[in-house]
Amino acid sequence: MTSEQISTLFSLMLEYTIPTLKIFGYTLLYSIPLGMVVALLKMCKFKPISWLTNIYILIMRGTPLLLQLIVAQYSVPYILKSDICPDFLRSLLEGVDIRSESYIFNMMLFAFILNYAAYFAEIFRGGIESIPKGQYEAAGALGFGKVQTFFRIILPQVAERVLPASSNEVITLIKDTSLASAIPYMEIMYIAKKQVPTYASLLPLFMAGLFYFAFASLLTVLLSLVEKSFSHSWKRGMKKFARGIFRRGNA
Amino acid sequence: MKTSILKRMIAGFSAAAMLMAGAGCGSNNTPAQTTAAPAGTTAQAASDDSLQKILDAKKLVLGLDASFPPMGFTDEANEIVGFDIDVAQEVCNRLGIELVKQPINWDTKEEDLNLGKIDCIWNGMSINPARAEAMNLSEPYMKNEMIFVVPGNSEAKSIDDLKGKTVGVQTGSTAQEILEAADIYSSITVTPLEDNITLLNQMELGFSDAVFLDSVVANYIITENNKDYVVLPGNLEAEEYAIGFRKNDQTLRDKVQETLSAMKADGKLGEISTKWFGSDVTTVK
């Protein structure tokens, strides 16, 4: 390929980093809070809720994301066709235009979010359960309420502990966005695949690899900075907090 | 039988997933609500108003894989172009409607068609019994041969020389079916891959000794990219390209067929064919 062709290809791919980053951003934005909720539901004392959550996590982690993306795309027309579809759901879904771009994007995002929330939930649960029971008792003895204990004492420690594992998921996610090309949704990988026959060359795929590598490298640096700043600021905060309790105790 | 179980499973699984989402978090993400034609109804229309629907909507949604030069592929500017696209555009112009080019996943093309995501599959699609069963096919509009391509410096001079060699073929293609049914199949090693171009690249790098593919694609790639490939003399089986419509969409299929015949008669089809293949290779009557 000539350098002119390479620069045309590069600018085309640069243009389609936006859809890739859109999938990445929206998935993180929704799956992290959802993962938190799922983690709490899984630890719920009321067993049926805990079981249901377990089944959800089992399905999401037990089937390939690629398959989930495809199932999500075809879910609406198939639910409409099935006999067991209740009327309220039918009337809701009949307004959906399965040809529209927003349908393709939203259903894809739906699958990404549900999948990643399951992984985040397990990371968060591990983090919460790693805090010794003694801390809850100690906090209780110092006069902290349950909510206050969770948000002011447990959560900051959990956040620090789950950061490395979550960073892993975040970096995996930027590469998993490439699965969207199978739907197909136009992002970097889709463009790369379709440009291969155009130039009769594998260079577009190689170039896509460079884009993902650049994103992952950037994320690695950013996440390690977050990790550092998090542990420092939390320790500073705890010192201040402890001093506060100490002064109040003296007064 | 197999498909009905699969359909139930997909419906059940997605319903379960949706319930889960409802139970777990409320809704983060509401499906798109737009006002265009309701989904699903097109596939089940009792009387055949398929043509009227297209004319009312003023657009024909053409589903394609967009990586099949020169029939339908993506150019440097990410525009979908090709012989099929030019012909479909002319058909739409004559019907006074807009052509919408919708890239699809080739593996799920029948589903996309039946569920109404697209109105037709028009992408150098070879006729085979399974496709004739699943779709309402147009008359064949072009002949295609399945041929072996080898690197310019290959020792193989005929199909027989390929015995004991490794041959690449596109997965899910009619080329694969034909190769598997051929006599030579037992004496070669087959490496299936997703697309023909990757196969040709792999052949260049020495992963395989030959590639079995559509002559239309091979000839286009060799001339367009100045590749040092040789087409071995002889072919395994000639096959034909057709346009796929939904089983029930008879009026739409007939109208497109009629328009194609008119284009053949007034020379427009020949003109488009000459642009892409150097001569009129179409077989429309």
Residue pair B270/B280 in contact (Cβ under 8 Å)? The answer is yes
Q: Please state the φ and ψ torsions of residue A135, each to the nearest 5 degrees.
A: -65, -35
Contact B201 A95 (CB under 8 A): no
Q: Please state the φ and ψ torsions of residue B210, each to the nearest 5 degrees.
A: -155, 165
- Over the Cα atoms of chain A, what is R_g? 23
* Mean predicted confidence (pLDDT) in B224-234: 86
Of B61, B69, B105, the CB nearest to A99: B61
pLDDT at B23 over 50: no
Of A55, A100, A199, the CB nearest to B34: A100
Smallest CA–CA distance, residue A72 to chain B, in Å, is 7
Contacts of B81 (CB under 8 A, 6+ apart): B72, B73, B74, B75
Query: Which of residues 146 through 185 in chain A touch B, CB cutoff 8 A?
Result: 182-184
Residue pair B125/B175 in contact (Cβ under 8 Å)? The answer is no
Contact B32 A114 (CB under 8 A): no
A88-134 pLDDT, tens digit each: 888 888 888 888 889 999 999 999 999 999 999 999 999 999 999 99
Which of the residue ranges A29-38, B63-72, B221-230 has the most confident prediction, judged by mean pLDDT? A29-38
Contact B103 A193 (CB under 8 A): no
Q: Which pLDDT score, from 0 to 100, does residue B56 have? A: 93
pLDDT at B67 over 90: no
Residue pair A177/A186 in contact (Cβ under 8 Å)? The answer is no
Question: Which domains, ranges and CATH numbers included, belong to chain B?
Answer: 40-142+241-277 (3.40.190.10), 144-239 (3.40.190.10)
Q: Enter the ipTM.
A: 0.78
Residue A62 burial (C-beta neighbours within 10 Å; 0-12, 13-18, 19+): exposed
Residue A124: closest CA among A57, A172, A173: A57
Q: Which pLDDT score, from 0 to 100, does residue A39 have? A: 95
Contact A194 B224 (CB under 8 A): no
Contacts of A141 (CB under 8 A, 6+ apart): none
Contact B76 A195 (CB under 8 A): yes
Residue pair A113/B29 in contact (Cβ under 8 Å)? The answer is yes
Q: Greater confidence, A238 or B120?
A: B120
Contact B67 A194 (CB under 8 A): yes
Q: Which pLDDT score, from 0 to 100, does residue B35 have? A: 39
Query: Which of residues 123 through 182 in chain B touch A, CB cutoff 8 A?
Result: none
Question: Which domains, ranges and CATH numbers included, belong to chain A?
Answer: 3-250 (1.10.3720.10)
DSSP B208-269: -SEEEEEHHHHHHHHHHHT--EEEPSS-S-EEEEEEEE-TT-HHHHHHHHHHHHHHHHTTHH
Percent of chain B with pLDDT over 90: 46
CA B33 to each of CA A69, A94, A97, A99: distance values in angstroms, whole numbers, following the listed order: 20, 9, 7, 11
Residue A43: closest CA among A140, A143, A150: A150
B135-158 pLDDT, tens digit each: 999 999 998 888 999 998 888 888
Chain A residues in contact with B38 by the CB 8 A cut-off are: 94-95, 97
Q: Which pLDDT score, from 0 to 100, does residue B114 have? A: 92
Residue B208: closest CA among B166, B270, B252, B266: B166
Q: Is B151 left (phi over 0), alpha (psi -120 to 50) or beta?
A: beta
pLDDT at B36 over 80: no
* Mean predicted confidence (pLDDT) in B237-253: 92
Residue pair B83/B91 in contact (Cβ under 8 Å)? The answer is no
pTM across the whole model: 0.79
Percent of chain B with pLDDT over 70: 84
Residue B41: closest CA among A164, A118, A97, A183: A97
Number of H helices, E strands in chain A: 11, 0
The dihedral through the CA atoms of A193, B101, B121, B103 has a sign that is positive
pLDDT at B22 over 50: no
What number of CA atoms fall less than 13 Å from residue A116's CA on the CB side?
31
Rounded Cα–Cα distance for residues B277 and B269 (Å)? 12
